[in-house]
Structure 1
Amino acid sequence: MRIVFILVLAVGVGLAGFAVSIAKDRFDQYQTALAEQRNAILPTVEVVVVNRQVRYGQRITADDVQLIRWPAEHVPFGAFTSLEELFPADDDEPRTVLRLMEQDEPVLLSKVTAPGEDAGVASRLEAGMRALALRVDVTSGVSGFLRPGDRVDVYWSGAGHGGESITRLIRSNVQIIAIDQIADEQRNNPTIARTITVTARPEDVAALTQAQGSGTLTLALVGVGDETISDEVEVSTNALLGEVEELVVEQERVCTIRSRRGGEVVITQVPFCSN
């Protein structure tokens, strides 16, 4: 019996040692996997996002934003990484929203004004650009379907050299920044505008002003994402209609005989005419 007990004890100790060894290997594997996972975690930074939807023209306050962790390598250009950047301590004036932002969307420098500024047209002009108002109607204004942020090609129609009527593309991909007095890019309701405000370089402002004063302007809406710069386009009346040939139709000669019957003159048509 003693020998059997010793054998059973030895087997039990061996099995226990084997189980401990297996458990240790599993634990080591778990520790290694955990360490690899820690090394794989991307570094993050805090980014200011809005905690609700904010629209054009609204003043943004500290109650409208919060800080969240964002992958450090993918922080959007112009994002604010602290509340102090968004709300400077030396300026108590709030910023104004320039573009619609949805909940949890990062607050970007291009989507808000400087502290204390309103959301006027001047705040949306890039360096070296100017704002110019152009007159439009239901035809030239693409039936009212233009909105701030759209881009258009501008065509001029008027008298060319020699007095011939022509239509010419004078500026391509001109950006609209306001419709009448509205600069909100989220405006979707079609309205017949009387004026549009576009952004252009000073030399383009001079060209568009001269064109508007010497002829009529027509706008052609450019598709979203279309960065194509159109080539020079000009169509004249002659080029549109081609050479018009005048067709002269020879009239058939008709011969008649006049005769008098009492006090009445009778005209009778005859089939053949004598020379």
Structure 2
Amino acid sequence: MSKYRPFLISAFLAAVAVLLVSLYLNEKEGLLVDQSTATQVIVAIQDINAMDIIDSNMLKIDNVPKRYIQPGAQTDIKAVEGMIASVPIKQGEQIVDTKLLFPGEESGLSHRVSSGRRAVTIPVTDVHGVGKLVRPGDRIDILASIDYGVNDREEREVKTILQDVLVLATGKFVADSLPRATASDFTGEEKTIDLRKEDYQTVTVELDPIEAQGLIFLLTSGEGEVFLALRNPDDRSRYKLYTTDSERILGPRSKLGLKRSAEQNRRGPRWLEIRDSSAVGVY
């Protein structure tokens, strides 16, 4: 019996190997068959522009191998009908949920304002508003250039008055809202407007009530101009900044700086301030 043992062990191992290979091949075959199985999804039968309302005449049901079905692909034309394309959709492209917007009811700007905060609108130009490249959801700093001189004597300083401010809207385009509106042209025919592409003259920001008061004072006092500075969306830092005036820009070696230095040396400082571990005279 012992002389047949190696043969029996080899035969047993060979049978196990054949069984494992057979199971592996059957699993792979089943996977390939499953991936090749055609599944019905919705595809576009024509080019669909961004902000177009989708109807059944733009769509058809097509059989697509399972391996080629995109995540979120839609399968029910009735469920898609009446929705809005958020981006252009090409002919033959599958209709996926990430490219669709649901019209729903407009919730308005008030629902975007956090509790205890206020929405305040700032008029902007290309120069004051970062070339009008600000979009809802962006975060900005607000700077003011203020002239507090008496009579014809100009005394101007620039200060960052607010930092890390949330933009709620640009023009009528509100954050997290459907970016479209309807308007009538000169013939009286209604057309759909993509608010993301519309030029705007205002930016609406979210502030606390005290900040809102200060900003409104600047906008209505006529003593200064307001500018926006766009931030990286991940940058939530805040800085302690001194104001900037002509002397700080020109520096102590300018004519103005030398003149001020001579005046200060004659009369001496009124008090000392500690700035960056150094005592600085305040004149």
Query: TM-score, normalized by length of structure 1?
Result: 0.49
